[in-house]
Amino acid sequence: MEIKALACEMPSRCARPLSRWSIAELTAEARRSGLVASISDSTVWRWLSEDAIRPWRFRSWLFPRDPDFAMKAGRILDLYHRSWQGDDLGEGEYVLSSDEKTSIQARRRRHSSVPARPGVSMRVEHEYERKGAWAYLAALDVHRMKLFGRCEAKSGIAPFSRLVEHVMNQAPYRAARRVFWIVDNGSSHQGRNSIARYAERYPNMVLVHGPTHASWLNQIEIYFSVLQRKALTPNNFASLDELAHRILCFQAEYERAAKPFEWRFTRRDLIKLLKKIHRIPAQSIRAAA
């Protein structure tokens, strides 16, 4: 038990100039500190594996710091399940998830890629020439799996407004009762000013901001990950036009074949998650109920 407790300590607490323990370092520290007179690496490994303790591994993590995290996250989860402020969404009400995928580079490889063959994977030249970059702004109708996107030289208020205009001036959104846009807190659509800006232009548009550092709540990020994996990796584009063509063609192909994501994370799951994160104030957890 003392060996396992040591494995769960930061090495700096033991005055060691290390960021993470290895098995060999743990074994040496156990002997140096007098926990044991003699012990082998394999024994320490066996003990730690019983409780799946891997002190040499770590996971990057953003702790929720938004004081209204639960409230903001909860209303997004409600929208995914077709509810808003306790009432079910009706006909003529739509939910869109939107964001920007910035700095998508066009990298022209200095040698043509070699296709795969038996026993040999595809080979992609490591060196490349930079041909510029796009910001890809997109919106996803989460219940209809309709995609809208455009490539812009950069992100910002004006490019995002062009995306909104493209969507809101076409059926069925133009004549919809309400169109909810789920966005993050980026500068393109940040704060109360952005809410007022779009409410004035489109009275049926409701801008819904998520909590800070909660992009995992935004369904468009799922689509961005699919785009990155299936259309942009490996990156080998001779020009910005070729890159834009690939992005928009993939968008159209994906929309034809895809079905709405099965979003199963609910308010109840949110409350369970927040209870595990002890840094969240109790009043924020109660607010999600």
Confidence of residue 38 (pLDDT cuts 50, 70, 90): very high
pLDDT at 28: 94
pLDDT tens track for 168-216? 999 999 999 999 999 999 999 988 899 999 999 999 999 999 998 888 9
Provide the pLDDT for residue 278.
Answer: 57
User: Is 180 a domain residue?
Assistant: yes
Q: Indicate if the pLDDT at residue 36 is higher than 70.
A: yes
Give one word for 204, left, alpha or beta, with left for phi > 0 and alpha for psi -120 to 50: alpha
φ/ψ of residue 68, rounded to 5? -110, 25
Band (pLDDT 50/70/90 cuts) for residue 279 is: low
**Residue 34 structural domain:** 2-50
Looking at the structure, tell me whether residues 84 and 208 fall in a common domain: yes
- Provide the mean pLDDT of the chain: 92
pLDDT, position 66: 86
In a domain, 56, yes or no: no
pLDDT of 281 over the 80 cut = no
**Can you list the positions of beta strands (E) in 25-112?**
83-84, 87-88, 93-109
Is residue 197 located within the same domain as residue 143?
A: yes
User: For residue 277, what pLDDT band results from cuts at 50, 70 and 90?
Assistant: confident
* Residue, of 279 and 285, whose pLDDT is higher: 279
Tell me the C-alpha distance between 83 and 176, whole Å. Answer: 16
In this structure, is residue 283 part of a structural domain?
A: no
Say if 35 falls within a structural domain: yes
Name residue 157's amino acid.
Answer: I
Report the distance separating Cα 72 and Cα 82, nearest Å.
16
The answer to whether residues 5 and 33 touch, using CB atoms and an 8 Å cutoff, is no
Query: Are 22 and 144 in a shared domain?
Result: no
**Count of alpha carbons within 13 angstroms of residue 16, beta-carbon side:** 19
Same domain for 19 and 161, yes or no, is no
Other Cβ atoms less than 10 A from the Cβ of 79: the count is: 23
- Domains held by the chain: number: 2
Binned at pLDDT 50, 70 and 90, residue 275 comes out as confident
Which CA distances in Å does 256 have to 94, 145, 230, 249, 262? Answer: 19, 9, 15, 11, 17
In a domain, 22, yes or no: yes
Residue 54, both tokens: 């891997």
Q: Is pLDDT at 110 greater than 70 in this prediction?
A: yes
Strand-pairing partners, residue 99, are 138
Q: Do both 133 and 89 map to the same domain?
A: yes
- Residue 285: per-residue pLDDT: 45
**Pairwise CA distance, residues 146 & 94, whole Å:** 11
- 26 and 75 fall within a common domain: no
First to last CA, the chain: 38
Q: C-alpha angle 213/66/70, rounded to 5°? A: 95
Residue 35 above 80 pLDDT? yes
Structure token digits, residue 252: 């159209």
Task: Examine residue 60 and state whether it is found in any structural domain, yes or no.
Answer: no
Residue 280 lies in a domain: no
pLDDT over 90 at 61, yes or no: no
Q: What is the Cα gyration radius of the chain?
A: 25
| 178 and 97 within one domain | yes
What pTM was estimated for this model as a whole?
0.83
